[in-house]
């Protein structure tokens, strides 16, 4: 198994291989005949180029040889599954919005992460409430450091400041966390359904881009199964609301009770979350909402679907005019810059005393659509996703009971995933042992057939001898292979199975562990050079 710490020498070898990538030194621009220059004509010294290629090859070999010297540090335990991230529970929205990764950029982020020296697989889960990176790390310490440095570089936040808000979980703790996230147990609003859809989208995005590795793909798919089971087998969703629903409840909570349903509602952005805002306004008895959106088609589609409310469309160019006529402004757009600043809020007309004299901005976007300085305006109040905590304080005892029921299901799904992952440990040894036995069988069979003579055997006799040799090998391998099973179907522990695997590796000189790690390092070196 592979250790969680790699040697500095192996890491240095990676750098040497990368630095040796041939850049065609010795190339020079060649002027055209008669002294006239032709741009783009390049002459390369073939000898120099060949030397550069030879040097690159030598560096690659050196990297692998250097790895072999220090590979024993990898053998003690396998690669680690890790999650590094921050959420509404650990970091303010100001930090989360700097780290947010738009869905269309997930494949690019995965590509950048897996190009890091000690990261084999990666996935990004970025929502308004969390930004989490799931990885399979060849080395725990170095892999975590590389991911944190990547997050720091992307966000512009110093790594030391990031670490104050990051959480890091490993192996079964990381897997359990993802299962809890998928089930809605880690959400601001217990059991909310949007997060399960977002976890599904990670898998869909990975499948379309080919970016998810075997372990991460299986973990996310099992997390989806866990999330579905929790919602189907417990009543965790009853009474629970989405972020959009919590936003509506918060707005009504802040309005005078007698005037809540008569308040003039404005929604900016008709995406998925905006659509849910309208849905929950209907559930609360609201009869009219003005929707500002870039295009009318999406608003028309919502209007067709939701007949119980009057939906008035206004184009984006009339956003501030619409805000001037609204008591409550919900914002839910993908804009990376604020739509409302202090100057915009000050320019809006005052609100009637019946509505409390204050215009409410409920911003459920990350990055935020409403600047925090808007709250400095006397007649305006701004609430963002962090403020939704006020809505979900009720029924704590009921939420805890539901969460306990859900944890039983999550534990079952976690055991299934870990049994599957444990089973992967012995697959290379099983393949090598079978291949080793088949080579011996084929060699000895050929010697036997040569001694008997081809002419002395009928096709039926030859087939019978071949089946006999195959049967003997299968019978002999049955016992050892049974002791390499670790899929949860028997009482054998992982440690026992791995002891058996190491014993077979030694007895038959299979050396599978080093071969696997060498293959991974070779892939990293080749990827760096390309």
State the chain's maximal CA–CA distance in angstroms.
109
- Looking at residue 441, the DSSP 8-state letter turns out to be H
Spatial contact of 178 and 44, defined as CB atoms under 8 Å apart: no
Spatial contact of 133 and 106, defined as CB atoms under 8 Å apart: no
Closest CA to 317 of 296, 300, 343: 296
Q: Identify the pLDDT of residue 56.
A: 59
In whole angstroms, give the CA distance from residue 67 to residue 80: 19
- pLDDT < 70 positions in the chain: 1-78, 237-242, 389-398, 423-427, 484-495, 497-498, 501-502, 508-509, 511-530
Q: Identify the pLDDT of residue 57.
A: 58
In whole angstroms, give the CA distance from residue 160 to residue 236: 38
Q: Identify the pLDDT of residue 50.
A: 61
Closest CA to 178 of 205, 166, 196, 165: 196
Closest CA to 182 of 170, 169, 198, 166: 198
Q: What is the pLDDT of residues 492-501, one digit of tens each?
A: 565 676 677 6
Q: Which tokens hold the place of 410?
A: 């999550």
Closest CA to 219 of 90, 410, 84: 410
Spatial contact of 77 and 1, defined as CB atoms under 8 Å apart: yes
Q: Which tokens hold the place of 164?
A: 């104050």
Q: Which tokens hold the place of 173?
A: 């703790």
In whole angstroms, give the CA distance from residue 60 to residue 63: 5
DSSP secondary structure of 390-436: GGG-S-HHHHHHHHHHHHHHHHHHHHHHHHHHHHHHHHHHHHHHHHH
Q: What is the pLDDT of residues 118-133, one digit of tens each?
A: 898 999 999 888 999 9
Strand order across the 119-126 sheet: 119-126, 130-137, 80-87, 167-170
Spatial contact of 504 and 433, defined as CB atoms under 8 Å apart: yes
3-state percent helix, strand, coil for the chain, nearest multiple of 5? 60, 15, 25
231-237-243-244 Cα dihedral, nearest 10 degrees:
110
Spatial contact of 226 and 411, defined as CB atoms under 8 Å apart: no
Q: Identify the pLDDT of residue 253.
A: 86
Q: What is the pLDDT of residues 293-317, one digit of tens each?
A: 999 999 999 999 898 899 999 999 9
DSSP secondary structure of 230-291: HHHHS-TTTT---HHHHHHHHHHHHS-GGGGGGS-EEEE--SHHHHHHHHHHHHTT--EEEE
Residues 6 or more apart from 475 whose CB is under 8 A from it?
none
According to the 3-state scheme, what is the secondary structure of 56-116? HHHHHHHHHHHHHHHHHHCCCCCCEEEEEEEECCCCCHHHHHHHCCCHHHHHHHHHHHHCC
The DSSP element (H or E) to which 49 belongs, if any, is helix 46-70
Spatial contact of 334 and 367, defined as CB atoms under 8 Å apart: no
Q: Which tokens hold the place of 296?
A: 């009318």
Q: Identify the pLDDT of residue 410.
A: 95
Q: Identify the pLDDT of residue 503.
A: 73
Q: Which tokens hold the place of 529?
A: 């050079």
Closest CA to 206 of 218, 197, 214, 217: 217
What global pTM score does this model have?
0.59
Annotated catalytic sites, by residue?
128
């Amino acid at each position: 198994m592979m250790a969680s710490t790699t040697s500095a020498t192996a890491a240095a070898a990676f750098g040497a291989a990368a630095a040796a990538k041939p850049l065609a030194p010795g190339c020079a621009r060649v002027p055209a005949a008669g002294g006239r220059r032709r741009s783009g004509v390049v002459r390369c010294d073939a000898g120099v180029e060949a030397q550069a290629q030879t040097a690159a090859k030598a560096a690659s070999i050196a990297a692998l040889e250097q790895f072999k010297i220090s590979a024993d540090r990898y053998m003690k335990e396998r690669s680690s599954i890790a999650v590094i991230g921050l959420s509404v529970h650990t970091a303010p929205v100001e930090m989360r919005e700097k780290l947010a990764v738009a869905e269309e950029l997930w494949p690019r982020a995965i590509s950048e992460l897996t190009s890091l020296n000690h990261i084999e697989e990666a996935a990004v889960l970025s929502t308004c409430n969390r930004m989490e990176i799931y990885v399979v790390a060849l080395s725990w310490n170095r892999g975590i450091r590389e991911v944190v440095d990547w997050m720091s570089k992307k966000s512009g936040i110093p790594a030391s400041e990031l670490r104050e808000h990051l959480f890091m979980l490993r192996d079964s703790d990381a897997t359990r966390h993802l299962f809890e996230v998928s089930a809605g147990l880690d959400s601001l609003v217990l059991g909310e359904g949007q997060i399960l859809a977002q976890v599904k989208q990670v898998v869909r995005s990975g499948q379309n881009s080919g970016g998810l590795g075997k372990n991460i793909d299986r973990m996310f798919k099992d997390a989806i199964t866990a999330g579905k089971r929790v919602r189907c087998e417990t009543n965790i969703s009853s009474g629970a609301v989405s972020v959009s629903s919590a936003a509506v409840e918060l707005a009504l909570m802040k309005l005078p009770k007698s005037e809540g349903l008569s308040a003039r509602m404005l929604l900016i952005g008709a995406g998925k979350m905006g659509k849910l805002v309208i849905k929950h306004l209907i559930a609360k008895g609201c009869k009219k909402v003005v929707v500002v959106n870039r295009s009318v088609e999406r608003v028309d589609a919502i209007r067709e679907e939701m007949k119980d409310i009057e939906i008035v469309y206004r184009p984006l160019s009339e956003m501030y005019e619409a805000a001037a006529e609204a008591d409550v402004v919900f914002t839910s757009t993908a804009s990376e810059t604020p739509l409302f600043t202090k100057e915009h809020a000050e320019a809006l007309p005052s609100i009637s005393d019946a509505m409390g004299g204050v215009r409410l901005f409920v911003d459920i976007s990350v990055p935020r659509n409403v600047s925090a300085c808007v709250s400095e305006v006397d007649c305006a109040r701004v609430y963002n996703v962090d403020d939704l905590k006020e809505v979900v304080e009720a029924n704590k005892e009921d939420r805890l009971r539901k969460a306990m029921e859900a944890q039983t299901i999550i534990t079952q799904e976690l055991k299934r995933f870990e049994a599957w992952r444990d089973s992967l440990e012995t697959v290379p040894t099983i393949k090598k042992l079978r291949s080793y036995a088949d080579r011996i069988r084929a060699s000895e069979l050929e010697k036997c057939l040569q001694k008997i003579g081809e002419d002395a055997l009928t096709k039926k006799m030859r087939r019978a001898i071949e089946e006999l040799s195959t049967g003997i090998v299968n019978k002999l391998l049955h016992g050892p292979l049974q002791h390499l099973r670790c899929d949860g179907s028997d009482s054998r522990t992982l440690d026992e199975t791995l002891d058996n695997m190491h014993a077979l590796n030694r007895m038959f000189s299979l050396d599978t562990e080093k071969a696997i790690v060498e293959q991974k390092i070779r892939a990293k070196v080749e990827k760096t050079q390309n």
